[in-house]
Amino acid sequence: MKSVRLLSLSALLLTLAASGCKKTPEAPSEPDKVVTQGVEAIKANKPANVYAMLPASYQADVQVLVTDATSKVDPELFELVVKIIDKTVAILDKHGEALAQNEMVKALPVDFKEVVALVKEFHGILKDSGLTSYDKLKGLQLAEFLSDHGEKFMAFSTKVAKKFGGEDYAGGMKRLDSVTAKTLSTEGDKAEVEITADGKTEKSTFVKVEGKWIPEEMSKGWKPMIASAKTGVASGMEQVSKNKEQAKKTLEQVLAALDEVEKDGKLDPLMKMGSMLK
């Protein structure tokens, strides 16, 4: 249903821009280092190092995109989503042990207690970062946010991927470990770089934009990508606004059901509501 999709979108807005580190690093001076240092940054849970490799105007484009999204978040829907998140964590604190014995919960393909621990951890990260505050979200400055809170989000994402990603995660890390790069030639603001991963070697052209080396493919596709992203954000927020009352009603029903669950730990109210939303 549209209301369910709107709920997902609202929740997603709470986790915008979850990456970064405390100190903004300098961008690599050599094109091949963009590849190798970028890989090392990802492996070390420091994606802000990668973000710092973007030209200044590209970073400005990203900030505009973030502002477009956060400035249009509806305060009523946002507060309802935050209340639902807080209430869910309160229920897990109060009834987590009992819920773990529920037959339906036991049938889940994951360890419920591990999931509960992760939910609580993520809730703490959200609170510490200020993303559960409407005013802070609306005025979010990406660079500052990345510096103060981003690394925690990246580390958490890596933790979840490692725990539940299985062979996909292991394969991805193995591929990262295998990456090497070598600059073959440089002429002015253009360079050819040889990149090897999983034993396969490809040549890639890099160009210097505003003093920073980036893949030529990125430089050619950046403006269309940003334009498409802006259109997507505008369309998504328009749908939220158009269907606000329906979304609000659904969120209020979820919150009411959680209030009932909090009383005795029984999931019947949520099950009943879930059947109504199908």
Residues contacting 167, CB < 8 A, separation 6+: none
Provide the 10 A C-beta neighbour count for residue 244: 14
What is the pLDDT, as a whole number, of residue 23? 54
Residue 107's region, left for phi above 0, alpha for psi from -120 to 50, else beta, is alpha
Report how far residue 20's alpha carbon sits from residue 234's, in angstroms, rounded to the nearest whole number: 26
At 208, is the secondary structure helix, strand, or coil? Answer: strand
Are 255 and 77 in contact, with CB atoms under 8 Å apart? no
Question: Mean pLDDT per segment of 10 residues, for the chain of length 278 residues?
Answer: 42 42 71 96 87 94 95 96 98 94 91 95 97 94 84 95 92 96 98 97 98 98 97 94 95 96 90 70
The pLDDT assigned to 162 comes to 93
What span, in angstroms and rounded, lies between the C-alpha atoms of 101 and 60?
50
Residue 25 has a pLDDT of 66
31 burial level (CB within 10 Å; 0-12, 13-18, 19+): buried
Instruction: Determine the angle formed by the axes of helices 2-13 and 244-264, rounding to 10 degrees.
Output: 80
User: What is the per-residue pLDDT for 142?
Assistant: 85
Number of independent structural domains in the chain: 1
Contact call for residues 182 and 35 (beta carbons, < 8 A): no
**Boundaries of domain holding 180:** 2-277
Q: Phi and psi dihedrals of 262, rounded to 5?
A: -60, -30
Please give the pLDDT value at position 51.
85
